Amino acid sequence: MNKNFLYTALLCAASIAVTAGGIELLLRIKNSSMKSYDIEMWRYANELKVPSPDPDLGHEHVKNASALLQSVNIRLNEWGLRGGPVMVPPPKRRILFLGDSITFGWGVPEQDTITARLQQRLRDEGEDVEVLNGGVGNYNAERYIKRFFIQLKALNPTDIVVQYFLRDAEKLDPGGGNILLRNSEFAVTIWIAFTRLANKSGEQSLVDHYKDIYREDQPGYIEMKNQMKMLADYAKVHDIRLYLAMTPDVHDLANYRFGFIHDRMKAIANDLGMRYIDLLPALGKRPPEEIWAMPGDPHPNAIAHGLMADALLPVIRLPSSAPSR
C-alpha cells in the first residue's frame, strides 16, 4: 500500500514537473517576440537590476551592463546611468535627470530619450554640456533623491532635473520576490494574473487612489516632500539649478483627471525655489496608440520623449546659449 502510494505520488510530481516545464518552454518561445510588457519588465529586473546594499533604495542598476529589452538596446555605464561613459574631464555644464522608468526611457531607443535629445539640441546650439540619465525603473521620489545623495552626488551636476511622475509619492515595498518568481516566466505569469484579479476585486478608481496617496498624512507623500526639501537645500548651498518637470499619466490625455496633482506639485516646487515645468500641454490630447511605447505599455514612446524635450529646452537653455534670431 505504501509503495503504491509513493509510486503514485512520484508519478504525479513528475507529471506536474513535465507539464510545468512544457508550459515554461512555450511561454519563453511566445515571449521571445518581446511584446509582453510584464515579461520584459521582469527581464529588466533580472538582467539589469540587483538588490541594493542600502535598504532605502531596494534595488539599483548593474554597472557597465547591457541588455536587449522590449526590442530596444539598453546600456548602463560605470555609474549605473543609462548611456555611455560619463565625460572626463567634466564639461562646463552637467545636467542630471532624476526619475523613474519614464526618465530611463523604457521602450525608447537611447538616442530618442528626453535626456539624449536635450543634450544633442544644446550641443547643436554650442553649449559645452552633458545630460545624464539617472532614471531607474520602480523608483519613487524618495528613492531617486536618496540615490543622488548616496551614489551620484560626486558627479557634481550644475543642474538637476527632477522628472516627477504621479506615482512618485507612493510608498514602495522592498520587492525582490522569491527564487521561483525570479527564474520562471510561468510563475511570473500566474502571479501577475492573480495580482490583477485581487486588485480588480477591490477596485478603486485611479483618481481616488491618487487622492489617497496625496493626503497630507500619507507616509509616502510626507517622505516625498522631505526628500524634495533636502534636495532643494543642497542645491541652494552648492549653487545648482534645480527644476521639477511634471510628467503626466498618458492613459487618457483627452479627459485628463489629475490636474490636482500638478497643482500640488507646482506649489511644492514654488515653495522650494524649484523651476516648475508642466509637460502636460506638450503632449496635448494625443491618443494612447500615438504615444504609448507599445500596446499594453503606457510608457511614453519616442514621439512623447521628443515633445517633452521640446517643452523643456527653452527652460533648460541658459540665456547666454539662446540661439540668435
* pLDDT per position as a tens digit, 180-200: 444 444 444 554 444 445 444
Please answer whether residues 177 and 195 qualify as being in contact, where contact means their C-beta atoms are separated by less than 8 angstroms: no
Reported pTM:
0.85
**What DSSP element (H or E) covers 294?**
strand 292-294
DSSP state of 67: E
The amino acid at residue 278 is D
Name every residue whose Cβ is closer than 8 Å to that of residue 299 and which is 6 or more positions away in sequence. Answer: 101, 102, 106, 107, 108, 292, 293
In whole angstroms, how far apart are CA 76 and each of 31, 40, 176?
24, 17, 21
* Proportion of the chain above pLDDT 90, given as a percent: 73
- The per-residue pLDDT for 208 is 92
Q: Please state, as a whole number, how many other Cβ atoms lie within 10 Å of the Cβ of residue 196.
A: 11
Residue from 185, 162, 176, 134 nearest 244 by CA:
162
Please answer whether residues 122 and 114 qualify as being in contact, where contact means their C-beta atoms are separated by less than 8 angstroms: no
Mean pLDDT of 11-37: 55
Mean pLDDT of the chain: 86
- The per-residue pLDDT for 318 is 82
Please answer whether residues 147 and 60 qualify as being in contact, where contact means their C-beta atoms are separated by less than 8 angstroms: yes
Mean pLDDT of 156-162: 98
CA distance 244 to 250: 18
Start-to-end CA span in the chain (Å): 93
Residue from 226, 214, 120 nearest 170 by CA:
214
The amino acid at residue 168 is D
In whole angstroms, how far apart are CA 1 and each of 12, 27, 40, 308?
16, 39, 48, 71
